[in-house]
Amino acid sequence: MYRFLLTPRWWGINLFVVLAIPFCVFMGTWQLGRFEDRVQSHEQAEKQPDPSTRAAKPLDELLPVDKVTSGRPAIATGTYADQFLVPGRELDDRQGFYVLNMLRTDTGKALPVVRGWLPGSASSAEAPPAPQGKVTVTGDLQASENMNSDGANARGGLPEGQVGIISAASLLNLVDYDVYNAWVTLPEAEAGGAGGAMKPVPAAAPQGSGLDLKAFQNLGYTGEWFVFAAFVLFMWFRLVRREAETMRDVALGLIPDEPASAGASPEATRAEDTGAEDTRAVAGR
């Protein structure tokens, strides 16, 4: 009864099922692994002490930035150079902007330093100037931002002196010296300055280290892929069952195997009728 599964018409269906189910299971397992990795990273982050409370280390000892070194206090010495404003940044449910300065170190590279946050629209007149001369700063180390970072603006078209993403890639287009692929945010004592106008920008948790929306998206995608696999298998069984029932009905004579008139065109039917009439006419003579 099931020999039809070996016919050429069913070869394509069977091949699709054989390839689709393992692919869906693989993708579902991969998404589940991504979710479990995020859960594990979150648990490890909960067990570890606050990175900002650990002893400060020289910047070069903490690079490159990863989940372990992100948020650690980093020490860097140099001279402040170019100043930029980073608009569209929220703090305490208020819109404002970061004040970012490039700290040129003895290595020749510059470290982006977020000195603080100010409310309102970005305005260079409101941003206090950076200290003059050689300074040593201690700030919480952060990885370069990307398009998915909170507050990042990748659309471009910003006024001169403003930058939408704090990253080496975006800053290299604005300065004529090398830039570290990292940045630091100064604690309250340094960010506020003498006037105390700026508020410190708290360090953000590294991406992928918590149970955020993306983690639960991975879990949702896991369910979708497994549902796809089950749906493919269900539809295959349904098609097989319907084909088997049709062949059984044909064998029992419940439905015609190949109806003669099913595929006949009107022209062919008229031709047959005409031929039959001619035959009867000849016979009558």
Q: Express each pLDDT in 125-175 by its tens digit.
A: 678 889 999 999 999 999 999 887 877 787 778 889 999 999 999 999 899
Preceding peptide of 87 cis, ω within 30°? no
Residue 265 lies in a domain: no
* pLDDT of 195 above 80: no
Residue 266 lies in a domain: no
**Whether residue 81 sits in one domain with residue 20:** no
**Whether residue 93 sits in one domain with residue 16:** no
**Whether residue 162 sits in one domain with residue 129:** yes
Task: Find residue 85's DSSP bridge partners.
Answer: 99, 162
* pLDDT of 69 above 80: yes
Provide the terminal-to-terminal Cα distance of the chain, rounded to the nearest Å: 53
Residue 151 lies in a domain: yes
Mean pLDDT for the stretch of residues 2-25: 86
**Whether residue 75 sits in one domain with residue 198:** yes
The residue among 104, 107, 124, 117 whose CA lies nearest residue 186 is: 117
* pLDDT of 268 above 80: no
Domain count, the chain: 2
* pLDDT of 91 above 60: yes
Judge whether 160 and 85 are in contact, CB under 8 Å. Answer: no
Specify the range with the lowest mean pLDDT, choosing from 41-50, 208-217, 249-258. Answer: 41-50
Residue 54 lies in a domain: no
225 vs 242 pLDDT, higher one: 225
By percentage, how much of the chain surpasses pLDDT 70?
77
From the number of C-beta atoms within 10 Å of its C-beta (0-12, 13-18, 19+), residue 79 rates as middle
What is the pLDDT, as a whole number, of residue 263?
45
Mean pLDDT for the stretch of residues 109-125: 89
**Whether residue 222 sits in one domain with residue 199:** no
Instruction: Give the Cα separation of 135 and 130 in Å (integer).
Output: 10
Among 204, 229, 259, which residue terminates a domain?
204
Residue 276 lies in a domain: no
Angle at the Cα of 156 (from 150 to 158), degrees rounded to 5? 95
Helix (H) or strand (E) holding 13: helix 8-47
Q: What is the mean pLDDT of the chain?
A: 81
Residue 277 lies in a domain: no
What is the pLDDT, as a whole number, of residue 148?
78
What is the pLDDT, as a whole number, of residue 46?
59
Instruction: Give the Cα separation of 222 and 226 in Å (integer).
Output: 6
Tell me if residue 116 falls in helix, strand or coil.
Answer: strand
Instruction: Give the Cα separation of 203 and 3 in Å (integer).
Output: 66
**Whether residue 195 sits in one domain with residue 84:** yes
Helix/strand/coil percentages in the chain, nearest 5: 40, 20, 40
Q: Residue written as tokens 């180390």?
A: 141
257 vs 154 pLDDT, higher one: 154
What is the pLDDT, as a whole number, of residue 279?
46
- Which DSSP string corresponds to 135-178? EEEEEEEEEPP-TTSTT---S--PPTTB-SS-SHHHHTTT-SS-
Confidence of residue 59 (pLDDT cuts 50, 70, 90): very high
**Whether residue 198 sits in one domain with residue 75:** yes
Confidence of residue 60 (pLDDT cuts 50, 70, 90): very high
**Whether residue 222 sits in one domain with residue 188:** no
Confidence of residue 121 (pLDDT cuts 50, 70, 90): confident
What is the pLDDT, as a whole number, of residue 11?
86
User: Measuring CA to CA, how many Å separate 83 from each of 78, 128, 160, 175?
Assistant: 14, 10, 11, 10
For 77, other C-beta atoms within 10 Å of its C-beta total 14
What is the pLDDT, as a whole number, of residue 99?
94
Mean pLDDT for the stretch of residues 176-189: 90
Residue 264 lies in a domain: no
* pLDDT of 277 above 60: no
**Whether residue 124 sits in one domain with residue 87:** yes
For 63, other C-beta atoms within 10 Å of its C-beta total 14
The residue among 267, 63, 262 whose CA lies nearest residue 182 is: 63
**Whether residue 31 sits in one domain with residue 105:** no
* pLDDT of 282 above 50: no
Instruction: Give the Cα separation of 17 and 238 in Å (integer).
Output: 13
Mean pLDDT for the stretch of residues 20-29: 95
Residue 51 lies in a domain: no
Instruction: Give the Cα separation of 207 and 147 in Å (integer).
Output: 12
What is the pLDDT, as a whole number, of residue 258?
57
**Whether residue 28 sits in one domain with residue 131:** no
**Whether residue 194 sits in one domain with residue 92:** yes
**Range of 26's domain?**
3-45+214-248
Condensed to tens digits (0 to 9), the pLDDT of residues 203-232 reads 887 665 556 677 788 889 999 999 999 999
Mean pLDDT for the stretch of residues 174-179: 94
